[in-house]
Structure 1
Amino acid sequence: MKDCFSIDCNDEGAPYVEAHVAGDMSTILQEPDIHQLEKLLPCNPHDVSPEVSSQVIVAAQVNYFDCGGMAVSVCIWHAIADASAVASFLTSWAAIARGATDEIEGVIFDCTSLFPPQDMRSFSLHNFLKEDLLSKIMLKRFLFDSSKLAALREEVGNGPCLERPTRVEAVAALIWGAVMAADGEENQNETAEINAATISVGLRKRMIPPLPKLSIGNAYQVAMANCSKKEKQLDYNGLAGKLHESIGKMNNDYVRKIHAGGGYFQFLRTKGEELGKNPNLMKVFGFSSWCRFPFYEADFGWGKPNWVGTALTLYKVAILIDTKDGQGIEAWVSLPKEDMVKFEQNPGICAYASFKLST
């Protein structure tokens, strides 16, 4: 990456590592530990170089276990790819590896007609990757299998705000409510006027005409649902309704209008300045859904993966990933350690989530 605006495609390739892991893969599959997973990565995902030109763009590592199992791990810099683009990269790489190049559609690198180049120097994941913040964070995986998730959707949909929540809306409503409850128990003198949930919404299928599936870059928009101090006791149906409404705004007309002339980034700057001046104005928890992306279709010639996960720790964020059957969801939740203790004990979390994959 030459600067904050352009990429030099110099064909230098990417770092590729092969590693031998002393141990059995089953210990990771049943109850993955973030510290174990980090050792399988080709680089430290939290080590963001201040020099843009020296930042690792993409790196891969293949890990061979004693049991004969194999784990392929990839790190891609978020500045050049969102989760959809990463999934496209992996499935295309896998198709080439097994000789199925006819399955690869044309890759599109230029979306500047929709998203004109912007000065991105003030926007990065640095605020979510600060060492002092991450040292206070605990990351855990919560598994919502297909049967529990079906029951959760039925409960969340029982109300006037939203009749048929999606899997992501149901899980996000449950997690958002549990996060607010955990934070409230630890902070009896709550001063935040608004509790907000942000959720990344993919735009490729929402644009008219739709963007090509293999559009590389960050083609998503952050939607925000707000819950005021008076509304903090909303039930799951109410929270899901707010999430659904905020996601629904992300249509073709809205996106084209807000991105015209850099309006979206100006909005983010203004919000950032407001929160900087008044940190008690809003508390934010983020959701990033990787569901319905074809990670489980990445067949390198040995068959499709048994499990797909993440080893990324962010500040107060939940990453949602499909289970292998495509019906359940794994939620990777990062919270301050004192909040995580309360979160794990939340009645809703205890009722619908588990910590281990079924054997």
Structure 2
Amino acid sequence: MEVSVISTENIKPWSLAGSDRHELKPFKLCLLDQLMVSIHSPLVLFYTMKDEHHDKKSVGKRLKASLSNTLNPFYPLAGRVKDNLIIHDFEKGVPFTETRVKGHCLSDVASPRGGGGPRLEFLNNLLPFEPHCYQEDEAASPQLSVQLNTFDCGGIAIGINLYHKLMDGATTSAFLHSWAANCSGDNPRMKKQPELRKARSVFPPRDSIPTEVQTFSNRLFFGDVGRRPRRLPASRRFVFDEKAIAMLRTKAGLSITNPTRLEALSAFIWESTLKAADEVEQQQPTCLTQGVNMRPLMSQRLSKHSVGNLVTTVMASCADSPAKSMRELVSLIRDGNLRVDENYVNAISGEQGLAVMMQGQMVFEGIMSGGKIMVCSSWIGFGSNNFDFGWGKPIWTGLSGDPSGNLPCLNNSVIFKEVAPRGRGSSKAVEAWIRLDEDAMYRLEHDPLFLQYASPNPPIILN
């Protein structure tokens, strides 16, 4: 795929433009922001732009103008991190690149002729840079980067890289819904007013983070950041439809009461990847981590639009479990989730928060020594299929393709996101974007039991 750059500029908050510009004070990170690794999450939004009333030539101008407007209340997203303490330099803004995808229509990527699913290998070309990789120089990393790609057919793909240091799923959702509302001008109710100060009062930052704490966080996501992997992981997209999810929830219900979609899917995928790794004689992912949004647990102190990486990591380990069956695994996942309660979040907040988390880290270190880690995260509930910038909702939202190997990257991971509904209906189907070592992925893709529930990269319906 040939992607030619037409223009690149940095978009600043509108309050920094013109003669009436305002001084923006440095934004202080909270402790949880400080502990987060330097990694960018991807999102690629596809729009067919079939409505003849849209002036396709003005799309870039509209996106940039509305982005500048949206950055005003979300101004930390225009800056850069300094010393893992503050975000400043808001003049640097958000890099916004416009490109032309030559010789390809949107359907060539999202729904290629002859059947088959989206061409995942093209996705990284539609992003500002490769995501899910370790960023050594966080001072140079933008919080947000955008690439507007225009296809020969007139369709567009908006590729976005989101710096996880500050932007967890809830912050990302609030920002993108606000940007879309500003661009469309049709739905002011979708604009979110970010709360910028509460996170650092609940989780006070530290002047410095112990090296061993930061090293642990990096190892959790990337393994050894000092060396490139000998073999690159493979990325695949699987879809679990409503019927498959219902059957998996029924199986999970033999061990726990009222299992959620995520609990059932996580346990099933964990069981399947354990089996795949064992068949190729690789170290098994005996530890599974999940991020838990703490805003609902701290509703008296944090609003749902409090900005920051306000998630905590829970871990389940099956290292001492002989059977490693789905019924056992879903119980372990539920036990881990139940540990994150009001008492827990109170313990890790305040001045004692770092000390409490370091105690938990020591426990994690012992668990992790027995095997690999499967990192699970979820976009479910954040409305990634609903970002309407004025030309309808996206026909599909993609993530990323295989890594290039230039930097240490996320491996042994699964990201869940909702499948976009067709028409006016709703969809309870879920996409699972899985990364595994290539040999283990081959086994997973050819596992008859796994394929009873999972559809490998099914087609996208454009109309």
Structure 1 and Structure 2 fold alike (TM over 0.5): yes
Provide the C-alpha distance between the structure 2 equivalents of 1:134 and 1:265, rounded to a whole number of angstroms: 32
Q: Is the 8 A contact 2:418 2:429 kept in 1?
A: yes
Give the 3-state SS of the residue equivalent to 1:225 in structure 2.
strand
Give the 5 Å matches for 1:111-126.
111-118=199-206, 119-120=208-209, 122=214, 125=218
Provide the C-alpha distance between the structure 2 equivalents of 1:73 and 1:232, rounded to a whole number of angstroms: 44
Equivalent of residue 246 in structure 1, options 327, 336, 340: 336
> In 2 relative to 1, CA 267–308 (structure 1 residues): closer, same or farther, beyond 3 Å?
farther
Provide the C-alpha distance between the structure 2 equivalents of 1:92 and 1:98, rounded to a whole number of angstroms: 10
> In 2 relative to 1, CA 55–336 (structure 1 residues): closer, same or farther, beyond 3 Å?
same
Give the 3-state SS of the residue equivalent to 1:26 in structure 2.
helix
Provide the C-alpha distance between the structure 2 equivalents of 1:180 and 1:101, rounded to a whole number of angstroms: 47
CA RMSD, 1 decimal: 2.6
Offset, 1:284 = 1.8
> In 2 relative to 1, CA 284–36 (structure 1 residues): closer, same or farther, beyond 3 Å?
same
Provide the C-alpha distance between the structure 1 equivalents of 2:274 and 2:166, rounded to a whole number of angstroms: 33
Offset, 1:281 = 2.3
Provide the C-alpha distance between the structure 2 equivalents of 1:195 and 1:305, rounded to a whole number of angstroms: 37
> Structure 2-normalised TM-score?
0.69
Structure 2 residue 281 is matched with structure 1 residue 179? no
Provide the C-alpha distance between the structure 2 equivalents of 1:292 and 1:134, rounded to a whole number of angstroms: 36
Structure 2 residue 452 is matched with structure 1 residue 351? yes
Instruction: Tell me which residue corresponds to 1:8.
Output: 88
Per-residue displacement from partner, 1:86-132 (whole Å, max 9, x unpaired)? 12111111111112445323211220122221445625557528572
Give the 5 Å matches for 1:69-80.
69-80=155-166
Letter of the 2:393 partner, please give it: K
**Structure 1: 5+ residue stretches without partners:** none
Offset, 1:317 = 0.8
Letter of the 2:177 partner, please give it: T
Provide the C-alpha distance between the structure 1 equivalents of 2:359 and 2:459, rounded to a whole number of angstroms: 41
Instruction: Tell me which residue corresponds to 1:88.
Output: 174
Give the 5 Å matches for 1:1-359.
1-8=81-88, 10-22=90-102, 23-30=104-111, 31-45=117-131, 48-99=134-185, 100-110=187-197, 111-118=199-206, 119-120=208-209, 122=214, 125=218, 128=222, 130=225, 132-133=228-229, 135-157=231-253, 159=254, 161-187=255-281, 195-209=286-300, 211-229=302-320, 231-260=321-350, 261=352, 262-267=354-359, 269-271=361-363, 274=366, 280-311=369-400, 314-325=410-421, 326-355=427-456, 356-357=458-459, 359=461
Offset, 1:282 = 3.3
Offset, 1:258 = 3.0
Offset, 1:134 = 7.9
> In 2 relative to 1, CA 210–303 (structure 1 residues): closer, same or farther, beyond 3 Å?
farther
Provide the C-alpha distance between the structure 2 equivalents of 1:82 and 1:209, rounded to a whole number of angstroms: 20
Provide the C-alpha distance between the structure 1 equivalents of 2:400 and 2:235, rounded to a whole number of angstroms: 9
Offset, 1:286 = 1.3
Offset, 1:44 = 2.6
Q: Is the 8 A contact 2:173 2:383 kept in 1?
A: yes
Provide the C-alpha distance between the structure 1 equivalents of 2:218 and 2:127, rounded to a whole number of angstroms: 19
> In 2 relative to 1, CA 135–63 (structure 1 residues): closer, same or farther, beyond 3 Å?
farther
**Structure 2: 5+ residue stretches without partners:** 1-80, 112-116, 404-409, 422-426
Q: Is the 8 A contact 1:174 1:348 kept in 2?
A: no
Provide the C-alpha distance between the structure 2 equivalents of 1:241 and 1:222, rounded to a whole number of angstroms: 17
> In 2 relative to 1, CA 177–315 (structure 1 residues): closer, same or farther, beyond 3 Å?
same
Offset, 1:7 = 0.8
Offset, 1:335 = 0.6
Q: Is the 8 A contact 1:48 1:55 kept in 2?
A: no
Give the 3-state SS of the residue equivalent to 2:86 in structure 1.
coil
Q: Is the 8 A contact 2:175 2:192 kept in 1?
A: no
Offset, 1:48 = 4.7
Offset, 1:288 = 0.6
Provide the C-alpha distance between the structure 1 equivalents of 2:452 and 2:85, rounded to a whole number of angstroms: 47
Offset, 1:50 = 2.9
Q: Is the 8 A contact 1:133 1:315 kept in 2?
A: no
Q: Is the 8 A contact 1:142 1:330 kept in 2?
A: yes
Letter of the 1:108 partner, please give it: E
> In 2 relative to 1, CA 58–134 (structure 1 residues): closer, same or farther, beyond 3 Å?
farther
Provide the C-alpha distance between the structure 2 equivalents of 1:263 and 1:51, rounded to a whole number of angstroms: 27
Q: Could you list the structure 1 runs, at least 4 aligned residues long, displaced by more than 3 angstroms after superposition.
A: 46-49, 100-103, 118-121, 123-127, 271-275
Letter of the 2:433 partner, please give it: W
Give the 3-state SS of the residue equivalent to 1:59 in structure 2.
strand
Give the 3-state SS of the residue equivalent to 2:251 in structure 1.
helix
Offset, 1:47 = 5.7
> In 2 relative to 1, CA 210–164 (structure 1 residues): closer, same or farther, beyond 3 Å?
farther
Letter of the 1:341 partner, please give it: Y
Offset, 1:162 = 1.1
> In 2 relative to 1, CA 259–133 (structure 1 residues): closer, same or farther, beyond 3 Å?
farther
Give the 3-state SS of the residue equivalent to 1:352 in structure 2.
coil
Q: Which moved more, 1:46-55 or 1:337-346?
A: 46-55
Provide the C-alpha distance between the structure 2 equivalents of 1:16 and 1:358, rounded to a whole number of angstroms: 27
Offset, 1:243 = 1.0
- Aligned-pair identity in percent equals 29
Offset, 1:358 = 5.4
Q: What is the aligned residue count?
A: 350
Provide the C-alpha distance between the structure 2 equivalents of 1:52 and 1:150, rounded to a whole number of angstroms: 42
> In 2 relative to 1, CA 238–309 (structure 1 residues): closer, same or farther, beyond 3 Å?
same
